[in-house]
Amino acid sequence: MKFIKWLKDIGKEDVALFGGKNASLGELYRNLSSKGIRIPNGFAISAEAYKFFIKSAGIENEIKKTLQSLKKENLKELKEKGEYVRRLILNADLPDELVKEIKEAYRKLEEIYGKNVDVAVRSSATAEDLPTASFAGQYDTYLNIRGEKKLMEAIKKCYSSLFTNRAISYREDHGFSHFDIYLSIGIQKMVRADLACSGVIFTIDPETGFKNSIYITGSWGLGELVVRGAVNPDGFYVFKPTLEKGYKAIIEKKLGIKNKMLVYGKNGIEEKEVPEEMRNKFILNDDEILQLAKWALEIEKHYGMPMDIEWAKDGLSNELYITQARPETVHSKGSQLFVYKLKERGEIIVEGEAIGNKIGAGKARIVKSIDDIDEFNEGDVLVTEMTDPDWEPIMKKASAIVTDKGGRTCHAAIVSRELGIPAVVGTKNATSIIKNGEEITVDCSEGVGRVYRGILKFEKEEISYDSLPETRTKIMMNIAIPEKAYLLAQIPNDGVGLARVEFIISSHIGIHPMALVEYEKLKSIDDEKIRRIVEEIDRRTKLYEDKKEFYVDKLAMGIAKIASAFYPSDVIVRFSDFKTNEYASLIGGEIYEPEESNPMLGWRGASRYYDEKFKEAFGLECKAIKKVREEMGLKNVKVMIPFCRTPEEGIKVIKVMEEFGIDREDIEIYVMAEVPSNVILAEEFAKIFDGFSIGSNDLTQLTLGIDRDSNLIAHLFDERDEAVKQMISKIIKVAKKYGRNVGICGQAPSDFPDFVEFLVREGVNSISLNPDAIVKTKMLVGKIESAIS
């Protein structure tokens, strides 16, 4: 055949003839089918066929003449001229020679799959899926095409999509000539995802460029709604290093809002509502998630670069397929790390998924239809239901984007990353709550996307790592929010000295652990207040029959996200240190928490863990740690006991940990040195624990007898007080005597350079800091170590 090749005969070297998409598809089919990766069969029509068609139809000069004088900034002119060129193509006849070849190839596909085989007809441009420009969604795809007549129509529609408004505008912006890019078309057997599910895989975190995780996302039905952002899909993270070692390395699972799906209809494809029971369950089971992740890893290794992959599950065979693979185009460019930080707070209007880590602000411009794009001004914030490639001419004018629908791989998310602007997607109701023309701030700097009323002050700091010294003292990080871990881990560090679980418990779980332990008992109580608590537990834990597993899973995944970000460096996870008033604020908490006049000095830390009133709840934390280390393979996790008042308490806690399956010989256990008794009896504690972490905040409070929450005596609170420094000096000396690690994770080193010098001179092993203090402190420690060596 002159114009057609089968996928098995195409490879990555054929981009000039078959475009980026088809060349990559052929590369996959030819090289990875033998490794068990299923790719649907098909054929491709070469770019030469497109040139032949345009010349045979006699429309080439008319297209050139129409576009030569185009001013892309004039959206009205862009719309009119684009429409005229597309009409020229659609009204032209395909050459007989080309039609004959297409029919012959389609009939061969029918011999494999049956009469009137259903196919996907995909556009593949000769400048597409490049590492520097994705052309994402620029050209059209048509699904569930059956029969020769429909196939010819779809092919001409694909050819005309080379001149959509968005494609013309995109080429102008990226310096591509309209007449140096040609279209190949792929014809591929459809995967019956309309009876199952489909989605996208990134072999790199799409927000931060973190290279060690695979992100899988998807929804019910055919994949177009995921790509367009019409649904908020399910999302799954899999950690590459431990996946390769054979662990079940699923470190995060997030249920989406999957209310619509695309299915086969009488005239091609139609949209329908997703039944309630399907909305409330994940589209993939764990084995399927791991299968896709392993395939993605193989594909990435074959291409030698981060990849953006499309997948589908066939509802007839229940088999998974890879339908496309292309280079990931945002983080492969490389970027300097900038840290954005809000300097003031305001009223939160809506929340959603944060895309990127930036902050943007401007006047909200609510655009409900592409017909209204003329009203959009440079620097406005685009607020809309969702975007598709037709919106790109105005998206590049926006200071930020906010959508009602969509997930992290939707069109708005992909384009905002490429444009380098913040986006908050999947807010559900931004277009109905935000007022047109009002000033808003779009904040993606904290891992959750928030839209604030008004223009808030923020700062942008470029983190420079030039000339950072190597230091004997480990410079570690304090971290609490899993969503920020992948970004913060890019700051040079020696691991995590304090991973707090309180944020995970309050934000990701929100329920008192004992209310989950005693769920069946609560269900049987005939009381209106208890009934409301049970209803809220049911709402939050709808995926779990065993409510305790909800707590274990959520806590384990939050810890795993942090541990994976810093792997293989140590991540020291402090067990929960909520006070009674803080636990009481969780759902069901008032049932289990006593009222204390001074919770700071009350029932907290170690004293809870062996108490029969809380022991089962602590057991859930132990099971979460066990899951992270043994199931997910994140052995870099160590644990720390807070507020352990006596050595006897330490022994009791370790015994309880063993009861819940944690092998004392298999894990390092640290103790917080924050109570004066920890220092006075340091030698006894050193015989029980593997290391100390100095909590200078509580140690200062209890050494000086100061309530650090009291404004009346706040001026007396100073970690640099001589009494506190003597306490710290003693704990460091004892730790060294017994060969134990000793670090500090309190606030003081982040604030006071002279305190850092004191710690280094005393010989502390590690200093754990707030992320924004890491670089300056590492520089300082380097100078101090040079001075004393």
The partner residues of 234 in beta bridges, in order of sequence, read 218
**417 sits in which H/E element:** helix 411-419
Which helix H or strand E contains 215, and what residues bound it?
A: strand 213-220
Which residues are paired to 766 by β-bridges? 474, 743
b (16+ CB within 10 A) / e for 44-66: bbbbbbbebbbebbebeeebeeb
Residue-wise DSSP of 370-395: GGGGGG--TTPEEEES---GGGHHHH
Q: Could you say which of 158, 197, 622, 745 is catalytic?
A: 745
CB atoms within 10 A of CB 459: 11
Angle between helix 47-57 and helix 96-113 axes, rounded to 10 deg: 140
List all residues 6 or more positions away from 166 whose beta carbon is below 8 Å from its beta carbon: 137, 138, 389, 390, 391, 392, 393
**Distance of alpha carbon 271 from alpha carbon 263, whole angstroms:** 6
CA 472 to CA 482: how far, in whole Å?
A: 28
- Distance from C-alpha of 243 to C-alpha of 567, rounded to nearest angstrom: 13
Catalytic residue among 331, 411, 512, 644: 411
Q: Pull the structure tokens for residue 53.
A: 């068609």
Q: What's at 621, amino acid-wise?
A: E
Where does 593-633 have alpha helices with state H? 606-609, 615-626
Closest CA to 47 of 181, 186, 184, 185: 184
Give the residue carrying structure tokens 């055919």.
222
Q: Are 323 and 453 in contact (CB under 8 A)?
A: no
Q: Is 411 labeled as catalytic in the residue annotation?
A: yes
Using alpha carbons, select from 575, 586, 562 the residue that is nearest to residue 620: 575
CB 291 within 8 A of CB 214: no
Known catalytic residue: 331? Answer: no
Find out whether 20 and 326 touch, Cβ atoms under 8 Å: yes
Cross-strand partners of 424: 354, 402
| Residues classed as catalytic | 411, 745
